[in-house]
Amino acid sequence: MRNVFFFIRKYFTFFFFLFLQGLSVYLIVRYSNYHNAMFSKTALEVTGNISSRYNRVQYYFLLDKTNDELLKANERLLNQQKQNFSQPDTGNLLSAGPGINDTLSANRKWLYHAAKVVQQSIIQQNNYVIIHRGSNQQLRNDLGVVDINNGVVGKIVETSENFSAIMSLLHKDSKVSAKLFKYPDVAGTIFWDGKTPNIVELIGIPKSLKVAKGDSVITSGLTATYPAGYMIGQVAEVSPDKSSSNYQIKIKTTVNFYNVQMVYAIDNLEQDEIKALEKKLEKKNH
């Protein structure tokens, strides 16, 4: 014990300097938006690199299974290519005659980017998934992310040059517009109560509908983040909300957040135009 006190006394000035240095960095990052943003990007890049190196060993043990899943995912994407295009309005166009490939005149709306997960959390109030693909590989904020089984993972909220952070469904600020597969005209909202991983809640569904355990819940397509029809999960529990005319519905997620290996980021190529229009409306209303 005496040696410990002697050691502390001898290096007290040095430790106190480190404390002040750390406090200074914290205050700069905490109260400066510029330094906060730079710190976030740098931290994301550093932790992403560390996690990527660690993840390589585990990845090789699951390589066979991952390759099989990737083959199935690629096949599924090839079979769904037409869904990624929106047809232009041809009401005022002259017919080009037979023999013209319609897909050549179609506009691509959705573009998919495969990425490998290098880090994830599920036990925090604010859970994130880190993927090894960033701004250098065409990713940006607000892109929806699904796993190889077309289950909703979350959306990208931060990118560095080679990594991106996904706000998962298991995040207290996560909100996703959703609907029951058998009631496509009624939309609700998915959120997480911060309690049980792989269990989220669906609100906004009226009691006039017949909801049963096992019903499928999908993305509504009412936002620019996700296409319609991607699986969120299945109804695990239904009960009436005594304070409203809606149900309280618990959903078991399609995605197994304990073991997410590969994902697809979905880029809505019309998103920038939609956001620009929304900004114009905001200015007009103010």
DSSP states along 156-195? EEEE-SS-EEEEEEEETT--EEEEETT-TT-EEEEE--SS
Do residues 141 and 124 make contact, with C-beta atoms less than 8 angstroms apart? no
User: What's residue 2's pLDDT?
Assistant: 66
Report the chain's mean pLDDT, rounded to a whole number: 81
If residue 227 lies in a helix (H) or strand (E), which one and from where to where?
A: none
Question: What single-letter amino acid sits at 168?
Answer: S
What are φ and ψ of residue 171, in 5° steps?
A: -140, 135
State the Cα–Cα distance between residues 235 and 253, nearest whole angstrom: 9
Question: What single-letter amino acid sits at 19?
Answer: F
176-253: CATH topology: Thrombin, subunit H (2.40.10)
User: What's residue 177's pLDDT?
Assistant: 97
- Domain residue ranges in the chain: 176-253
Place of tokens 């709306």: 109
Provide the sign of the torsion angle of the four alpha carbons 198, 174, 225, 154, taken in this order. negative
End-to-end, the C-alpha distance of the chain in Å comes to 68
> Percentage of residues in the chain with pLDDT exceeding 70?
70
Please give the model's pTM, rounded to 2 decimal places. 0.71
Nearest to 178 by CA among 211, 199, 202: 202
Helix (H, G, I), strand (E, B) or coil at 206: strand
For 136-187, the pLDDT digits (tens) are 999 999 999 999 888 999 999 999 999 999 999 999 999 999 999 999 999 9
Helix (H, G, I), strand (E, B) or coil at 286: coil
Mean pLDDT to the nearest integer, 246-260: 95
Question: What single-letter amino acid sits at 180?
Answer: L
Widest Cα–Cα separation across the chain: 95
